[in-house]
Amino acid sequence: MLHKLPAVRAIKERTGCKFQDLVIRRKDAVRQVVKELTDAKGRPKFSDPNDHRVIFGSPLVDVAATVALADETAEICMQILELTHWQIRLLSKSHLLPRVAQAIPERYKHRVIYGVSTGTLDDELAAAFEKGTPLVSARIKSLRWLQDHGHRTFGMICPILPQRDPQRFAQKIAEAIRVENCEHVWAEVLNVRGESMARTVEALKSGGFGEAAMLLEQTTANKNTWESYARGTFEALSSVIPHDKLRFMQYVSKSTAEWWNGRPGALPLGAAAGSRSIASQTPSAAKMGTLGLPEITAELLEQGRIEREQHERELARTLPELFQRRSPFWEAVSALAFAKVLLPTWKPEGKEQLEAAERCLKLLTPDARKVAREVGQIVGDHASKRWPAEIYDEAFAD
């Protein structure tokens, strides 16, 4: 825990400040990042073109809390993007993420994923217990700007207060963040950390939100009411957010783990979390990279990673970005996605599909053409169909 670090303890003792009163910054952050990513001769240490891990920013500071921090974050991202093949997930309670996005060149656009914390849609309610943060409405506006300009986004519905009508809340928040444009949606109820709950109740009362404070007090009365609050919130969200997108984080105990481990979309946390969580169900890129094309195809089809009915439009929009990743694994995945979009529902008059196909095919390398042909054959056999002649003959001809 950050507040237990000797340096943080020393600052607290010296200043008399509480942990929540401190702002933590790394000195010379950009230089430190370069140092971590390069060896003594300045060469990249993480240069594997197949290493597409997703890293998160930041557990220490809000990456866009101020203009200065947003600009520093953009500089750090540029160093990571140039020295590695990693992807970056950025989370903020600010409305300045578009500033970060605009500072990153188009060639790296597909490797950065943006999200903002949105536990409530009420600006005044949020201001009562989220001190010093931009309006929630401003955050939502920034998220939609990113989506409208073709950036990858994710949802972060957190922290969620107890609701009189969880279903209505879930519907409204899903519409606000435009779930259909989010790659994943992370969510979490309020968790007890030190005196945080008592302070939140007091802040709500002071802000004139007596009913919200009362609901929170009732919910925290005992473990059973707390668990009911978490389960009700999860069930409401899972009814409006596709299970393959939802990542509902919940700390579980031995007595509650069984219920959570069996729920699609739930991400059980803590020592009691079982092996059936989302993280263990989804095949990793490292695992997939060791498989051949037939195995990759079978694994992806089995896991529902590419579901035509749900993701057809999204895939048509993002396929060119997949092709640009230029690794054998991603060429196979993108070729499979291409096949899944076009093969089952091909219509000669389908202008959107044809345009997506043409964009993708222009990006195919000779090796990728071979991959696409092989994957197309596998998927064709799986679906008991064949590629449309005009696509197979013209697009994949040597």
The pLDDT tens digits for 226-263 are 999 999 999 999 999 999 899 999 999 999 998 998 78
Is the pLDDT reported for residue 264 higher than 80? yes
Is the pLDDT reported for residue 175 higher than 90? yes
pLDDT at 190: 87
pLDDT at 60: 75
Q: Residue 282 corresponds to which tokens in the numbers above? A: 């989804």
Compare 303 and 210 and report the one with higher pLDDT: 210
Judged by DSSP in three states, 385 sits in coil
Q: Residue 346 corresponds to which tokens in the numbers above? A: 């091909």
The pLDDT tens digits for 20-35 are 777 777 788 899 999 9
pLDDT at 131: 81
Compare 390 and 208 and report the one with higher pLDDT: 208
Rounded Cα–Cα distance for residues 263 and 298 (Å):
23
pLDDT at 366: 59
Q: Residue 267 corresponds to which tokens in the numbers above? A: 């991400």
Q: What is the pTM of this model?
A: 0.68
Where are the chain's structural domains?
24-278, 285-395
Going by their DSSP bridges, the two strands 87-92 and 112-116 should be labelled as: parallel
Query: Are the C-beta atoms of residues 91 and 56 closer than 8 Å to each other?
Result: yes
Q: Tell me the one-letter amino acid at 182.
A: C
pLDDT band at 355 (very low <50, low <70, confident <90, very high): low
The strand ranges marked E within the chain are 54-57, 87-92, 112-116, 152-153, 155-160, 185-189, 246-251, 266-269
The pLDDT tens digits for 324-346 are 544 554 555 555 555 554 444 44
Rounded Cα–Cα distance for residues 301 and 318 (Å):
19
| Residue partners of 383: CB distance under 8 A and separation at least 6 | 343, 344
pLDDT band at 76 (very low <50, low <70, confident <90, very high): very high
Q: Please, which residues bridge with residue 38 across strands?
A: 44
Q: Reply yes or no on domain 24-278 having CATH 2.160.10.10.
A: no
